[in-house]
Structure 1
Amino acid sequence: MDQTLLALILMFGALVALLGAGIWVAVALAAVATGAMALFTPVPLANLLASTLWEASWQWPLTALPLFVWMGEILFRTRLSRDMFNGLAPWVGWLPGRLLHVNVLGCGIMAAVAGSSAVTATTVGRMSLPELQRRGYDERLMIGTLAGSGTLGLIIPPSIVLIVYGILAHQSVARLFMGGVLPGLLLIALFMGYIAVWSLIHRDRMPQKESPLPFAEKLRRSSRLIPVVVLIAGVIGSIYSGIATPTESAAFGILGALMIATVTRTLTWESFRDSLMAAMRISCMITFIIVTAAILSSAVAFIGIPQYLAEQVDQWQLSTGWLLFVLTLVFILLGCFLEGVSILVLSSAVILPMLESAGIDLLWFGIYVVIIIEMAQITPPVGFNLFVLQSITGRSIWQVTLSALPFFLLLCLAALIMALVPGIVTWLPSLIQGAGS
């Protein structure tokens, strides 16, 4: 057996065994990488590990990561989740499907705050489900809209997953953020369109329409949401316009979040401390994974695995479309067992060289793969969003999965549209070609 193939099999088997045993992802990555280099390469291990860890830990885009996480943690502890339903409901009552659209729009707003799929689904679900149930909306569609819309936390900037991908693939975080805007809006449009069509077909399963509110009352109910929406728009707009880098805009975002928390009287010493500690824990966890992924990347590079796989792909003579199809299946499979950051970290060392060899735009692929990871979040047996909604609703995993199925298909449609029309991803980033990371 070829030594490179043997190394690949042993590394994959060891990684699966360690992760299956419950070992931390970062520790598993470091153990497999160091073991593989010790067995299959003559490199000076101690020197290489030290230099790799140093190079991976001081990258400038990493500075934006804890800042965006902290901004989200501050806003998460404001009255945002409590005010979201009352703030959004008056504006969607005229649409077919009415208050079901609150799930989609609420997840869109929370996605820009939390940057996490599970947090988005949990927060909006706890807020909206009791209200929708009380009004008599279809339970299956309620769960489905939350399952699908909860995945927006991965694609809508400022997305933590996109920051990690930018670091791993050496892509501009600012351009990745802008690349995620139109696909995120596309998903929101597809989800809201499905709700509208479903409600028109099943008019008998929709509750009675509520009386409309005066415009002044709508504004009053939405007043607490306006500062958050303006803050998010300002953060993303400053990146898009080139006024600030992602790191600088995140710093201003923290100041804005602290001001909002102060005005809404939710900023206490306890909430400030909790938000800071939560941001530190999350940022340290992600950074730990990133730096150990750099060790794995070095290991597979020295062993020659990327070149070996690229040669195999060339021998198979796969077209770009077939290569994307195969990678899509691989990422869906990984997503059934791992969360988004871990998927990117585990696959980047092998997948990215293959993509470059095939001539696939790494910026476009970053957005595409996030859509695929979103699909995996609502795919059994271990789709994280399915378990989140099962715990919230008390329904079986089978019922939640069936409810999420139409939105899984809509995510498939979005991925297909992106593959056929790559400009959906690349158009906005092309306008900020020179933006900083």
Structure 2
Amino acid sequence: MSDVAITTLLIVSLFALLASSVWIGLTLAGVAWIGMQLFSSRPAGDAMAVTVWGSASSWTLTALPLFIWMGEILFRTKLSESMFRGLAPWVSRLPGRLLHTNVIGCTIFAAVSGSSAATCATIGKMTLPELAKRGYPEEITIGSLAGAGTLGLLIPPSIIMIVYGVTADVSIAKLFIAGIFPGILLASLFSAYLAVWAGLNRHKVPTPTDSLTLQERLYESRHLIPVVALIAAVLGSIYSGVATATEAAAVGVVGSIILSAVQGSLSWATFRDSLMGATRLYCMIALILSGASFLTLSMGYIGLPRHLAEWVATLGLTPFMLIVALAVFYIVLGCFLDGISMVVLTMGVILPTVQSAGIDLLWFGIFIVIVVEMAQITPPVGFNLFVLQGMTGKEITWIARVTLPFFILMCAMVLILWWVPQLATWLPGHM
């Protein structure tokens, strides 16, 4: 059977299983089993057992459940309320005023949570009621929150970066460092857009109701101390070389538990809920990763990645054209799959092609994170859209429409990253 026929059969099997509401991890494993059983000489059952065990027992992957647990604990603390009180006095005089709390709040919280959905939900719980109470328009508050919530994937620590690092065999610590400058730049683009929007819609921005002196602002900033201390403990331990990503994740869990206890949010109920929430989410991710590892092995035995890479090479695409094609591919794929599934499902096929084009895998990791961010706000399976729909009761299509400007800014960020690759590669090379 030709490669085209084999690929078509596997793709049809994949979408047939997904359409039947089979779990994504089991779907990936099922397609891998079909491919290996029918088109290779190695026994599928033995290969599946070895691959699934090897994927699930990876020490590097240990950081993932710990970071997820840290985010779950913080989600149940009073951290968001404290952050708003500390940020509001400093942005009240900027064009757009309190709208910037969405962007700055998500940027700060992203540094202690590796999840886009958790960042969006936590900051939304804080800002949406406050901004609505002060009369800010719903379309810009919800749109900016959906866009800025994606920073949870780009600013380290990041769950997607850990998944990519494991599947692509790239240093997770270097990926974390590489995400700093692009994350800050993307947050700056979001804030710049809000300033421009406010300048064009002055009548929609409420006037400030209070005027604090510099001393009063500094005093209110004390509410930012807990989150800044936790960020310093987690990221500082990684960048100083004191701890690996896994050890830093453990530091984050201990720090978040201490922070929760100090704020009076720690109880047996919140501890149990955070642990169970992290367990459920990690089990889902681990199942997907295991299925994807088996699928990667199966495709390797069949030879599809090598043949695909050879086919792409015959197209004569320049590296830039390849990146544009991949960006479009991932945006379309993001309409149907979540970010983690996109990464683990495609890396086995995409990485040989990217490597043959001479593209730095560290840079490519940051590119992947940004396009996965874009997928978080594309219907019908944009996770941030689902989070905001649950919080606001708005239609998915309405939320996607008001988020469109921030989607366009992410597209611009991809182009900036291409033209200035040092944004992602300079800092890891000097630390």
TM range (shorter): over 0.9
1:415 and 1:185 map into 2 onto residues whose CA distance is 14
Report the equivalent of 1:157: 156
2:110 and 2:403 map into 1 onto residues whose CA distance is 18
Report the equivalent of 2:186: 187
Supply the AA of the counterpart residue of 1:177: F
Alignment of 1:376-395 (within 5 A): 376-395=375-394
Quote how far apart the aligned CAs of 1:400 are.
Answer: 1.9
2:372 and 2:188 map into 1 onto residues whose CA distance is 19
Quote how far apart the aligned CAs of 1:45 are.
Answer: 2.5
Kindly indicate whether the alpha-carbon contact (under 8 Å) linking 2:153 and 2:369 is maintained by their aligned counterparts in 1.
yes
1:297 and 1:72 map into 2 onto residues whose CA distance is 30
Structure 1 residues 393 and 75 mapped into 2: Cα distance closer, same or farther (>3 Å)? closer
Supply the AA of the counterpart residue of 1:235: V
Structure 1 residues 327 and 4 mapped into 2: Cα distance closer, same or farther (>3 Å)? same
Kindly indicate whether the alpha-carbon contact (under 8 Å) linking 1:179 and 1:367 is maintained by their aligned counterparts in 2.
yes
1:21 and 1:357 map into 2 onto residues whose CA distance is 36
Residues 1:251 and 2:250 aligned together: yes
Report the equivalent of 2:52: 53
2:72 and 2:401 map into 1 onto residues whose CA distance is 32
Report the equivalent of 1:241: 240
Residues 1:112 and 2:111 aligned together: yes
Structure 1 residues 223 and 285 mapped into 2: Cα distance closer, same or farther (>3 Å)? same
Percentage identity across paired residues of the two chains = 53
Kindly indicate whether the alpha-carbon contact (under 8 Å) linking 1:76 and 1:114 is maintained by their aligned counterparts in 2.
no
Report the equivalent of 2:84: 85
Report the equivalent of 1:356: 355
Quote how far apart the aligned CAs of 1:220 are.
Answer: 4.3
Normalised by the length of structure 2, the TM-score is 0.96
Summarize deviations over 1:259-289 as a string: whole Å, max 9, x none. Answer: 1111111111222222222222222221221
Alignment of 1:334-373 (within 5 A): 334-373=333-372
Matched length: 431
Per mean C-alpha deviation after superposition, the further-off stretch among 337-346 and 113-122 is 113-122
Report the equivalent of 2:324: 325
Kindly indicate whether the alpha-carbon contact (under 8 Å) linking 2:29 and 2:295 is maintained by their aligned counterparts in 1.
yes
Per mean C-alpha deviation after superposition, the further-off stretch among 82-91 and 324-333 is 82-91
Quote how far apart the aligned CAs of 1:95 are.
Answer: 1.1
Supply the AA of the counterpart residue of 1:396: E
Give the gaps of 5 or more residues in structure 2. none
Structure 1 residues 398 and 75 mapped into 2: Cα distance closer, same or farther (>3 Å)? closer
Report the equivalent of 2:9: 10
Report the equivalent of 1:273: 272
Residues 1:229 and 2:234 aligned together: no
2:56 and 2:379 map into 1 onto residues whose CA distance is 35
Report the equivalent of 2:141: 142
Quote how far apart the aligned CAs of 1:216 are.
Answer: 4.4
Structure 1 residues 379 and 10 mapped into 2: Cα distance closer, same or farther (>3 Å)? same
Normalised by the length of structure 1, the TM-score is 0.94
Quote how far apart the aligned CAs of 1:219 are.
Answer: 4.1
Summarize deviations over 1:394-434 as a string: whole Å, max 9, x none. Answer: 333333222111111111111110011111011111123xx
Report the equivalent of 1:397: 396
Supply the AA of the counterpart residue of 1:45: A
Per mean C-alpha deviation after superposition, the further-off stretch among 219-228 and 312-321 is 219-228
Quote how far apart the aligned CAs of 1:362 are.
Answer: 1.1
Kindly indicate whether the alpha-carbon contact (under 8 Å) linking 1:386 and 1:400 is maintained by their aligned counterparts in 2.
yes
Q: Partner of 2:90: helix, strand, or coil? A: helix
1:55 and 1:303 map into 2 onto residues whose CA distance is 20
Kindly indicate whether the alpha-carbon contact (under 8 Å) linking 1:235 and 1:249 is maintained by their aligned counterparts in 2.
yes
Residues 1:127 and 2:121 aligned together: no
Quote how far apart the aligned CAs of 1:205 are.
Answer: 2.1
Quote how far apart the aligned CAs of 1:108 are.
Answer: 1.5
1:389 and 1:417 map into 2 onto residues whose CA distance is 28
Report the equivalent of 2:298: 299
Per mean C-alpha deviation after superposition, the further-off stretch among 110-119 and 97-106 is 110-119
Report the equivalent of 1:101: 100
Give the gaps of 5 or more residues in structure 1. 433-437
2:269 and 2:340 map into 1 onto residues whose CA distance is 29
Residues 1:415 and 2:420 aligned together: no
Per mean C-alpha deviation after superposition, the further-off stretch among 304-313 and 55-64 is 55-64
1:387 and 1:59 map into 2 onto residues whose CA distance is 31
1:59 and 1:383 map into 2 onto residues whose CA distance is 29
Supply the AA of the counterpart residue of 2:201: H
